[in-house]
Structure formats: structure tokens, C-alpha cells
Amino acid sequence: MSELEKEVKRFAETHNGEQVSSYRAVYNVGRHGISTKESTDAYHNWSATYEQDAGPDKFRGPVIAAESVAAFYRTHRDKVLILDVACGTGFVGQELQKRGFKQMDGLDPCSSLLEKARAKNIYRKEFCCYLNDKPLPIEDSEYMTR
Ligand SMILES: C[S@@+](CC[C@H](N)C(=O)[O-])C[C@H]1O[C@@H](n2cnc3c(N)ncnc32)[C@H](O)[C@@H]1O
């Protein structure tokens, strides 16, 4: 039995079926020893059910992130340029939009998650790449920093 299956079995003993499938997917994308490419492939394989497994009813990360950004920008939110790094399907962008931010771009290496973000029309532009030690296809001063 693989480490993934052992971990899922342990989790399944105390949780219901839907939580088990979410847990399996979350565990899989970040499992110990995984390479960056393997993780992106795992996100790709998860993309069909990602929103169901990691949506707002399960994961408050996007709300917390958006509230934190909003606390820095109390006025003129529509003028602030934001790059949503690791945007996935755009959950953080959606939460930022609800709080009045309008000018956002999204960056994520997983093309299938990014495709779902694109369909929501949240971002002006989507960049399909990693944030790493390589230059981004973006001008240095394009986004605001605080
Ligand atoms: C847990 S998901 C979060 C996605 C989204 N922010 C959300 O709240 O649903 C993590 C995201 O990070 C992306 N990611 C992983 N490594 C990255 C890197 N080096 N640069 C940019 N994005 C990365 C993955 O493709 C995935 O979409």
C-alpha cells in the first residue's frame, strides 16, 4: 500500500466519504518528496473536482487572503493592480472582486486550473507559469507593493 493509500485509510476511519475524497486530493498535491512538476500534474488530474473539493464550504483560505489584502486598501480598491500568484481557479480573485478590487491578473502553472479561472472573467490577464527563480513575463514595476 502506498503512503497516500495508508494516509487516506487512516483519515477514512474517522471521516465521511466526501471529506475522504477531498483529503486524498489535498494530500496528493503536496505529498512528501513530490517534485514541482509532479505536483502540477496532480493539480491537473484534480482539476475536474478541485472546486468541489476545495471550495468555500471546505476551505477558508481565499476569504482570509482577500480580507488581509482588503485591510491594506480601505479606499480606491478599484485602482489597485493585483497579481494573484498561485491563483488556481480564481477563488481568491472572486473574494477580492466581492470587496471592490477590479484590476487583477492571475498566475498559475497549472493550465487546467487557469482555464477555469479564465472562464470566470475575474482577471485581466492570466499567466501560465511558476513563480520561481526565473524572470516572470511581467515588467518589474507593474504591480503595487506595500
Ligand atoms: C492550494 S492551491 C490554491 C489555489 C487558489 N489560490 C485557491 O485559493 O483556490 C495552490 C496553487 O498553487 C499553484 N502553485 C504551485 N506552485 C506554484 C509556483 N511555484 N508558482 C505559482 N503557483 C504555484 C498550484 O498550481 C495551485 O493552483
113 lines ligand 1 (CB under 6 A): yes
Q: Do 65 and 104 fall within a single domain? A: yes
95 lines ligand 1 (CB under 6 A): no
Q: Do 71 and 34 fall within a single domain? A: no
In a domain, 7, yes or no: yes
In a domain, 132, yes or no: no
Q: Do 19 and 74 fall within a single domain? A: no
Q: Do 122 and 65 fall within a single domain? A: yes
Per-residue pLDDT of the chain (146 residues; tens, 9 = 90+): 888 888 888 888 888 777 888 888 999 999 999 999 999 999 999 999 999 999 988 889 999 999 999 999 999 999 999 999 999 999 999 999 999 999 999 999 999 999 999 999 999 999 999 999 999 999 888 887 66
88 lines ligand 1 (CB under 6 A): yes
CATH number of the CATH domain containing 83? 3.40.50.150
Please report the DSSP string for 20-48 in residue order. Answer: HHHHHHHHHHT-TT--HHHHHHHHHHHTT
- By three-state DSSP, how is residue 89 classified? coil
In whole angstroms, give the CA distance from residue 46 to residue 83.
Answer: 24
Q: Do 99 and 69 fall within a single domain? A: yes
In a domain, 142, yes or no: no
In a domain, 37, yes or no: yes
Q: Do 45 and 12 fall within a single domain? A: yes
Say how many Å lie between the CA of residue 74 and the centre of ligand 1: 26
In whole angstroms, give the CA distance from residue 4 to residue 24.
Answer: 7
Predicted local distance difference test score (pLDDT) of residue 106: 98
91 lines ligand 1 (CB under 6 A): yes
Among 33, 53, 73, residue at a domain's last position:
53
Measured from the Cα of 131, ligand 1's closest atom is 20
Say how many Å lie between the CA of residue 138 and the centre of ligand 1: 18
- Of the candidates 123, 129, 94, the one whose C-alpha atom is nearest the C-alpha of residue 110 is 129
Say how many Å lie between the CA of residue 85 and the centre of ligand 1: 7
Q: Do 72 and 120 fall within a single domain? A: yes
In whole angstroms, give the CA distance from residue 22 to residue 134.
Answer: 32
Total-model pTM: 0.91
In a domain, 112, yes or no: yes
- Top mutation candidate among 31, 67, 87 for ligand 1, by most atoms within 8 Å of CB: 87
Say how many Å lie between the CA of residue 130 and the centre of ligand 1: 9
Q: Say if CB 69 and CB 61 are below 8 A apart.
A: no
Helix (H) or strand (E) holding 91: helix 91-98
* Cell numbers for 71: 485591510
Q: Which residues of 120-134 are buried (b: 16+ CB within 10 A; e: fewer)?
A: eebbeebbeebeeee
Q: Do 49 and 65 fall within a single domain? A: no
Domain span at residue 104 reads 61-127
